[in-house]
Amino acid sequence: MALVFFQSSPAAAWGGEGHTFINRVAAEKIPASMPRFLRRAVVEIAYLGPEPDRWRSPAEFALKNAQEPDHFLDMERIEWLDPLPRGRYEFYRKLYEKRASTKENPDDYLPERVGLQPYITMEVYGRLKSAFREYRQLRAAHQPTQAVQQGIVFYAGWLGHYVADGSQPLHTTIQYNGWVGPNPSRYSTLHGIHAQFETAYVAANITAKDFAGLVKTPDRLQDPFASYVAYLKDSHAQVETVYSLEKAGGFTGKGIPTAFDFTTQRLAAGAQMLLNLWYTAWLESAEPAPEHPGSTPAKAADPAK
């Protein structure tokens, strides 16, 4: 039953276990300098690790349709686009321009085919930072913070899903589930490697404590978007490693030690980036925000909006 489900959802990214582990390990490492309610929300944050994968049912068509591209980024399709634009609509515009000038398979450049991984991640990061700012203001004003605390826990957990997806190399590539195109190393072309690696192998062989020790105290990121894109590139550089490990039987049954080391390091990389983003959002939220960020007086006065 579970096997059928995961085979029909090849882009699920880390199974439920992997997502839960990454969120839990990161939450257990939240430093004492961050709010205590958040450090106490390990169970809630861990539960939210798989949350966006609960939004993929055909029973909620609009939701499934809108959010599926959030889970991946096919980096081969955007090698010509460096640096990446910081806003999703600037990204769409670049892709549509590319599509218009492309003769062969132009639809490969549709935003929903390329994927929107770094955009959703930074958008949820922004929500978290904004909620942290509200929390600070309410506390300073001696107002109740219970409601904003619930928002913060949700945003922190939700963010964890996409960050974890980004640590799975097969979420950064057109080679997401079986090798396509020239194949000199004779990697598997079967649709199955994705779930075999991230779901079946992880569930059977790895627990949170296998990689918790690899996650260190958080660093403040000077430029979260740039750091996140670099993190995706690092993950993308390891796509072939997944295929060569699979070829060596690394993810079959109990697998092999190099596959275990590789997988725990990828899970740890996800938890570390998540922890760094939480920490950075918390620190950045202490800086005062402009009065009406992003809305110019002309737009605010436009009755059509």
Q: Which residues bind Zn ion (CB under 5 A)?
A: 13, 71, 165
228: buried, middle or exposed (CB in 10 Å: 19+, 13-18, 0-12)? buried
Q: Measured between alpha carbons, how far is 228 from 151 in angstroms, rounded to an integer?
A: 23
Taking the complex as a whole, the smallest distance from the CB of residue 23 to Zn ion amounts, in Å, to 12
Q: Measured between alpha carbons, how far is 25 from 266 in angstroms, rounded to an integer?
A: 13
Nearer CB in complex with Zn ion: 71/133 = 71
Bridge partner residues of 176 (DSSP): 178
Nearer CB in complex with Zn ion: 51/76 = 51
Tokens of 109: 């450049």
Taking the complex as a whole, the smallest distance from the CB of residue 284 to Zn ion amounts, in Å, to 25
Taking the complex as a whole, the smallest distance from the CB of residue 234 to Zn ion amounts, in Å, to 18
Nearer CB in complex with Zn ion: 12/212 = 12
Taking the complex as a whole, the smallest distance from the CB of residue 165 to Zn ion amounts, in Å, to 4
Give the rounded distance of the alpha carbon of 180 from its chain centre.
Answer: 24
Nearer CB in complex with Zn ion: 113/247 = 113
Tokens of 20: 């839960």
Nearer CB in complex with Zn ion: 115/224 = 115
Taking the complex as a whole, the smallest distance from the CB of residue 161 to Zn ion amounts, in Å, to 6
Q: Measured between alpha carbons, how far is 145 from 167 in angstroms, rounded to an integer?
A: 33
Q: Measured between alpha carbons, how far is 210 from 265 in angstroms, rounded to an integer?
A: 10
Nearer CB in complex with Zn ion: 29/71 = 71
Taking the complex as a whole, the smallest distance from the CB of residue 52 to Zn ion amounts, in Å, to 6
**Which residue has tokens 């509200």?**
134
Nearer CB in complex with Zn ion: 64/299 = 64
Taking the complex as a whole, the smallest distance from the CB of residue 164 to Zn ion amounts, in Å, to 7
